[in-house]
Amino acid sequence: MSRNRLFVLMLAFVAIAWAIGFAVMLFSNHPQRKAEAHVERGNYEEAAEIYQRLAAAESEPFKRLSYHHSLARCWVHLERHEEAVAACGNAIADLEHMLAEDRCPLAPADATDMLVRLYKLRSISHERLKNPDAAGDDDSRARRVNAGFQNRVERFDQFEKELDRVIRESPPDEIEQSVQAVRHPE
């Protein structure tokens, strides 16, 4: 092989390696992936900031719904319940808007599942706002309140699991009745 051919092959290899490295860098630096990595590490503050920016910049309702839902869960973990209620409200509005315009990419059962989860998450945050933590000098009361909140979050997780099972086994008219009961509690 001549030196020129070898040089061209090396140059082509470097160009391909650079292009692959650049593509990997772009893929790994996507803000949503960064936010998900922060959530996995328990760094909810950073994840919330990223989800806020993504939700504000997104024009597609389905992606915005996903960002608002993730943002609400971050706010709950940070015990910033006013923001969680607002994020849930935004996600519910996006989902109901998509459903009203018949533009929701989710199957009806999945859309109902998401709507129920959002209402339940908003309900937990409302409840938490009504019972804020006690003052710093009453540590035992603060621990009891926090334990009660953790219990509600665990019950919510159990509710989500049960909801998944019920949705798989329930006919669509029963699911619609459940959604109406959640939307308009008596």
Instruction: Per residue of the chain (186 residues), give pLDDT as tens.
Output: 577 888 888 888 888 878 777 666 555 557 888 888 888 888 999 999 999 999 998 888 888 988 999 999 999 888 888 898 899 889 988 888 888 888 888 888 788 888 888 888 888 888 888 776 533 344 554 555 566 666 666 777 776 777 667 667 767 676 677 666 666 665
Quickly count: other Cβ atoms within 10 Å of residue 24's Cβ: 10
Topology adopted by domain 29-183: 1.25.40
How many Å apart are CA 127 and CA 2, to the nearest integer?
77
Quickly count: other Cβ atoms within 10 Å of residue 86's Cβ: 17
Instruction: Decide: 65 and 91 in contact? Cβ < 8 Å.
Output: yes
The pLDDT of residue 1 is 59
The pLDDT of residue 143 is 58
What's the whole-model pTM score?
Answer: 0.57
Quickly count: other Cβ atoms within 10 Å of residue 71's Cβ: 27
* CA 14 from centroid of its chain's CA atoms: 40
Indicate if the alpha-carbon torsion angle 136, 157, 128, 87 is positive or negative: positive
> Residue 150: which of 58, 76, 89, 85 has the closest Cα?
76
